[in-house]
Amino acid sequence: MAISLDAGVLEPQRSRGWGAAAAVAFARRKPLGAAALVILLGLILIALFARAIAPYDPLSQNYDAVLQAPGAGHLMGTDNFGRDELSRVVYGARISLSVGVVAMLIGTVGGVVLGLLSGYFGGLLDLVLQRIIDAWIAFPVIIFALVILVSLGQGLLQAMIAIGIVGIPATSRVVRGTVMEKKESLYVGAARAMGGSHLRVMLVHILPNVMSTIIVLATLTLGRAILAEAILSFLGVGIPPPQPAWGSMLGGNARTYFLAAPWMAIWPGIFISLTVISWNLLGDALRDVLDPRLRGV
């Protein structure tokens, strides 16, 4: 009995020790990636606990504190309606990260499905899908997103869908190439010889071996999605006011009052840059760690 109890106690300790060792090894090998991960975790916590962190209501207007410079009462200053910039930046993290995550999921799932089908079956299906993808990629990303938003209307959900759709072709192309490589492997041939159906071979034998590529693509796509949301909101077709999205905060009145109140554009610009750079650094670090060909580099 004592031996079994000791073994049961040691297993979780070994698991925790292995996890801590892996985290330390990742931080030593990819310090920029580890720093980016810490920053992103902090931003996620800010978004989750925005209501507790924000000192004011982000939509509350105070005409006695219009264009107030950063100070004790308002750490990041106020805008032309007297709204607290810190509160709007904090709630903006919730909106911008939500748009990025949902758009990333749409783009990744759509790209994986198209890439998996195209790369696995090949032939006429691959030819037709790739010509569609070619036409898809021919449109500039922002213009294509603008067309979708004009068709769907302006709003949070519409922005998520538009940004997600424009991210499908790039993911599809990368997944297709990886699937075409994996389907020639011996284990895939063995699965087919044993009578495995196409669906089983794709989902059980190919997709798990492409997952590292998908994770890296999703990480990089999320940063691009946040940047796309900021661009669309800056142009006035993304998240509609008065919702405190970083892109809409950076455009509009921030441009009008830039000389009188530069903090209206500086703070959301800093957070957009910090978030996008962090996602890209994390994606690069994960690519180097997960790709067997780069582990010795």
Compute the chain's Rg from CA coordinates: 23
* pLDDT for the residue numbered 2: 46
Instruction: Calculate mean pLDDT across residues 6-26.
Output: 60
Whole-number Å distance between alpha carbons of 234 and 142:
12
* pLDDT for the residue numbered 82: 87
* pLDDT for the residue numbered 294: 52
> pTM score, two decimals?
0.81
* pLDDT for the residue numbered 292: 56
* pLDDT for the residue numbered 238: 76
pLDDT at 176 over 50: yes
Provide the terminal-to-terminal Cα distance of the chain, rounded to the nearest Å: 48
The better pLDDT of the pair 188, 8 is held by 188
Report yes or no: 206 and 182 within 8 Å, Cβ to Cβ: yes
Task: Give 98-137 as a DSSP string.
Answer: HHHHHHHHHHHHHHHHHHHHHHHH-HHHHHHHHHHHHHHH
pLDDT at 296 over 70: no
pLDDT at 10 over 80: no
* pLDDT for the residue numbered 74: 86
* pLDDT for the residue numbered 5: 43
Helix, strand, or coil (residue 286): helix
- Torsion angle in degrees (nearest 10) through CA of 118, 121, 216, 169: 0
Q: What is the average pLDDT score of the chain?
A: 83
* pLDDT for the residue numbered 49: 92
Please, what are the domains in the chain?
A: 32-56+72-294 (1.10.3720.10)
- The encoded tokens of residue 115 equal 């890439």
Tens digits of per-residue pLDDT, 17-59? 666 776 777 778 888 888 988 999 999 999 999 899 989 988 8
The better pLDDT of the pair 142, 176 is held by 176
pLDDT at 291 over 70: no
Query: Which residues is 49 bridged to in the sheet?
Result: none
pLDDT at 14 over 80: no
CB atoms within 10 A of CB 190: 11
* pLDDT for the residue numbered 109: 93
Tens digits of per-residue pLDDT, 91-128? 988 888 888 889 999 999 999 999 999 988 888 998 99
pLDDT band at 250; cut points 50, 70, 90? confident
- Within 122-206, where are the H helices? 123-138, 141-152, 156-166, 168-182, 186-193, 198-200
CB atoms within 10 A of CB 146: 18
Of 99-113, 139-153, 164-178, the least confident: 139-153
Report yes or no: 92 and 210 within 8 Å, Cβ to Cβ: no
Tens digits of per-residue pLDDT, 210-223? 888 888 888 888 88
pLDDT at 293 over 70: no
CA distances from 186 to 177, 191, 193 (A): 17, 9, 10
* pLDDT for the residue numbered 128: 92
* pLDDT for the residue numbered 4: 47
Burial (0-12, 13-18, 19+ Cβ within 10 Å), 176? buried
pLDDT band at 148; cut points 50, 70, 90? confident
Whole-number Å distance between alpha carbons of 264 and 81:
11
Max avg pLDDT among 8-17, 147-156, 164-173, 253-262: 164-173
